[in-house]
Structure 1
């Protein structure tokens, strides 16, 4: 299954794969490495401390990818910023303005309807992929005019969905002929090919990209993923208020009992009055780390070059083109 909307990028993709946008993990080095290896590189714009740094990231990534193209003769895969459209993102308008100046070819919207940003992004020439975690959200994003849907399924790392990927993909494909991206549980090239057979155009790979040399993740986070399996992933609302897949060993290391977590969103250091107490408490993403069910497939910390080469070999062995 290949949506017509992806044809313009087809000859630039070594794999039908997106390096998933991950908070505090996806940065310049990971984006450059992914794109020059034929993998769509995505990053949350909020990973930048300011709109000025976001401008700087775009400029540096563009320069380095142009150098790669000049040296190799191969055009890299597209860069794909991830825009948080929820009202809690106080930089939404400023970050959107940066995107419109740099005209990325693909943009992913998360945590809300893509409707408010669709027209300006389309006018700038971008394809817009919208994160969705339910059939109802998929229907709404499709009706709004999203070019693609990222289906957050059970097993995806970080903030995720809960639907079975087989059921979710087939239900959405029944009413939607745009780009479908599967997010959740893609641990190797065979799983990537299976996503295509299921009816997807692309898939996310997140957890395995955390454990790469180029990711911004804490080295302890990377090693913890190597030492963990899917059994070590806990789905909980305690840290963000939304269903989130977190690494149980990191919860234990932060001094919190994973079997006795408080109510929805209760672990929120922003609600503390005392500054010293706020700084001393474990912080989500900084001390308590995310991971997906594909943690079972993380066996070492690799360079992106090696991870993509291995995934490509697995994909071709499974019958992928």
Structure 2
């Protein structure tokens, strides 16, 4: 399992908890935003994560933490990208997740420090472009994923990619249970990419109202819209209604509206519009991140055992 990088929500405390629980923890580099004139917060975050995981590994040699990942938004409006790449190279970040544009120089930066690059894609065309530009693997963002999501069925998307690509492949899209994780593996993915369930965790940097809405909502409460960032994505219906808008009659926005110059993927006017994937019906309460991992691990094992029994394995 790979924990998806969640805008604003994924902070060192959550990443560390995820890694200690045995899954890849991640965060967007743009989440580390310092005040003007202060040292780069990203540098401090990477130091904190690396040192804490190193202490954990020394104390628990038989159950070491999983590696962590940093998400880089490879978009022309991200004016911090070059600086953040240098910091990640300095810290020898083991896993890089790139989004919204595949670039050779970004992949080369990751490879220069021994890093592995997984690139977000929503269709087979983008997948081919990412690998051609030097990405090591892919994150297939299928229908039902939180945040910027594609529209293709995971059954179609994974099959098309596996026709030509045998490298690392993660699947994103409503993977919130161990059964869904096992299904992703059965489809041909190596990893399940899990985001929304971690919003309602103690370590997540999310407003309490946001966490409560995740617990109280289900797949029918997700709205697919391009209005808030210029790119199509999934959002909580309740947050759209609370902003005074009709979720069923939202205008569209052009992709040119996306701007990462301020370190944010959304204009301030939409800061209370909350992203979420369709799998949140499996989230029944708030708790520590490790509890999400433990639940999904049990469900994964139980589902595998049921299938093995059914097929005589």
Q: TM-score, normalised by structure 2?
A: 0.90
- For 2:304 and 2:100, the matched residues in 1 are separated by 35
1:59 is aligned to 47
2:262 is aligned to none
Return the match for 2:11 from 18, 27, 43.
Answer: 27
1:112 aligns with 2:101: yes
1:146 aligns with 2:146: no
3-state SS of 2:40 partner: helix
- For 1:81 and 1:269, the matched residues in 2 are separated by 21
Residue 259 of structure 1 deviates from its aligned partner by 2.2
Residue 308 of structure 1 deviates from its aligned partner by 1.0
Which string of whole-angstrom CA distances, capped at 9 and with x for unpartnered residues, describes residues 221-271 of structure 1? 1100111110010111111111110111000011122122223159x799x
Which string of whole-angstrom CA distances, capped at 9 and with x for unpartnered residues, describes residues 27-79 of structure 1? 01100000011110111000010471000001111111122112222321011
- For 1:18 and 1:283, the matched residues in 2 are separated by 31
Residues 309 and 263 from structure 1, CA distance in 2 versus in 1: closer, same or farther, beyond 3 angstroms?
closer
1:289 aligns with 2:274: yes
1:49 aligns with 2:33: yes
3-state SS of 1:54 partner: helix
Asked if structure 2 preserves the Cα contact closer than 8 Å seen for 1:43 and 1:80, the reply is yes
Structure 1 gaps, min length 5: 1-16, 271-280
Asked if structure 1 preserves the Cα contact closer than 8 Å seen for 2:231 and 2:258, the reply is no
Asked if structure 1 preserves the Cα contact closer than 8 Å seen for 2:146 and 2:275, the reply is yes
1:69 aligns with 2:69: no
- For 1:158 and 1:239, the matched residues in 2 are separated by 11
3-state SS of 1:137 partner: helix
Which string of whole-angstrom CA distances, capped at 9 and with x for unpartnered residues, describes residues 263-319 of structure 1? 3159x799xxxxxxxxxx9733x3110010001111111211211111111111112
Asked if structure 2 preserves the Cα contact closer than 8 Å seen for 1:20 and 1:205, the reply is yes
Asked if structure 2 preserves the Cα contact closer than 8 Å seen for 1:114 and 1:130, the reply is no
Aligned pair count reads: 293
1:247 aligns with 2:232: no
Residue 93 of structure 1 deviates from its aligned partner by 0.1
The equivalences for 1:118-267 within 5 A come to: 118-265=107-254
Asked if structure 1 preserves the Cα contact closer than 8 Å seen for 2:230 and 2:258, the reply is no
1:304 is aligned to 289
3-state SS of 1:318 partner: helix
- For 2:69 and 2:296, the matched residues in 1 are separated by 20
Structure 2 gaps, min length 5: 260-266, 309-313
> After TM superposition, which residue ranges in structure 1, 4 or more long, deviate above 6 angstroms?
none
Q: TM-score, normalised by structure 1?
A: 0.87
The equivalences for 1:8-23 within 5 A come to: 17-23=1-7
- For 2:258 and 2:209, the matched residues in 1 are separated by 22
